[in-house]
Structure 1
């Protein structure tokens, strides 16, 4: 057998995995700065937006979408929308901001982490995941939005890296973010009187959303474990290509 007859060496996955690790580290750094260290002053943002006059709602949609993408907490941004625009217009401003954040983070996640995610999973697992995404990606996005305690931006980066189509991200974020958009915007609009009926309505919606989210998370985890066992039984174990 000559050298030309040797089987081709599989390409190394290491560069893609390293790139994915760097991307994750970058996101964690952003999360610390925006969500924990609070380097962005949302009160200053509100004042700047209010100064734009009639264009303030559209300005806030764009600014809030960008701030959400760098992990400024969504409830704070939504409350600011309620303070500026009231519960009705503010809810729509918050909702479209959430959709903007979802689309932006998904695109960044796809371009920066898609190859690394596929390399980490391996070809077989990645193809199987792609099939699941095409069939259930929309409802995965919707369900994630109902689960309390999960950063929407961080989840959207992950959804993008795992190949969720942009239209699924937009529609899923619109549907799944609607209840919480109302909750936090209404609470922001009621900040001066938390005993008002609007505040009580917002708290009730939050409780229902949290219960539905916990139930959806439990069912999603059980379904994921079932699919993982099926993949293992089918021998979907990738050799390590270094």
Structure 2
């Protein structure tokens, strides 16, 4: 049992170190991202998607990345870029965790872990969708966890697309409004963010209750 535990601990340590180095060495701020990406001109949007997707892997917060996208590209293009980068992060995190940590999870597997894995595989897209809606729960660590549980790439991609879109719009629009001074857009974005948070909390509560009932 010691080797699988060490493998998982090593994966976690590498991710944390990568995050700390990123924050220490790179311009991880809305202004820093804007300065770094806009120099690519017409290619700025696809470059942003790739850069943002990689930064998400090392736990750079999604709201910061989406706000920077809105400030750079406006709400429309920024929203598309934010959703695509979120999907890229989620799929890459799943593949990394599945490649590096899934064998260790299988070695440590017991009846409860196997049941959780089977539940996640059966309802993977819905589980990702609900998690993306719940406020205050960072996406990247859960994406790695979904990979360890054996979700498939299309499940996390689709769940992220549907679940992250409302929040991506809210933060992207807020970034746009901060630059343009559009008060109406800021109000709409705030309203969408609040609505999504309420729906996310309700969906998480319902899913937890349903799981506890089925397990009892």
If the length of structure 2 is used for normalisation, what is the TM-score?
Answer: 0.90
Aligned to 1:160: 147
215-224 or 168-177: bigger deviation: 215-224
| Partner deviation per Cα, 1:58-103 (whole Å, 9 max, x = no partner) | 1110111001111111111111111110011110011101000111
Q: 1: CA distance between counterparts of 2:208 and 2:20? A: 27
Aligned to 2:64: 76
Q: 1: CA distance between counterparts of 2:84 and 2:115? A: 32
Q: Is the 8 A contact 2:71 2:179 kept in 1?
A: no
Q: Secondary structure at the match of 1:51?
A: helix
If the length of structure 1 is used for normalisation, what is the TM-score?
Answer: 0.81
Q: Which of 198, 204, 208 is the matching residue for 1:211?
A: 198
Which consecutive residues of structure 2, in runs of 5 or more, have no partner in the other structure? none
Q: 2: CA distance between counterparts of 1:137 and 1:189? A: 33
Following superposition, the deviation at residue 196 of structure 1 comes to 1.3
192-201 or 75-84: bigger deviation: 192-201
| Partner deviation per Cα, 1:44-69 (whole Å, 9 max, x = no partner) | 33212111111111111011100111
User: CA, structure 1 residues 168+210, in 2 after alignment: closer, same or farther (shift >3 Å)?
Assistant: same
Written as runs of structure 1 = structure 2, the 5 A alignment for 1:28-177 is 28-31=16-19, 39-41=25-27, 42=29, 43-122=31-110, 124-177=111-164
Q: 1: CA distance between counterparts of 2:194 and 2:167? A: 10
| Partner deviation per Cα, 1:8-28 (whole Å, 9 max, x = no partner) | xxxxx3211221122223334
Following superposition, the deviation at residue 118 of structure 1 comes to 2.7
| Aligned residues: CA RMSD | 1.9
Q: Which has the larger Rg?
A: 1
Which contiguous aligned blocks of 4+ residues in structure 1 show a shift greater than 6 angstroms? none
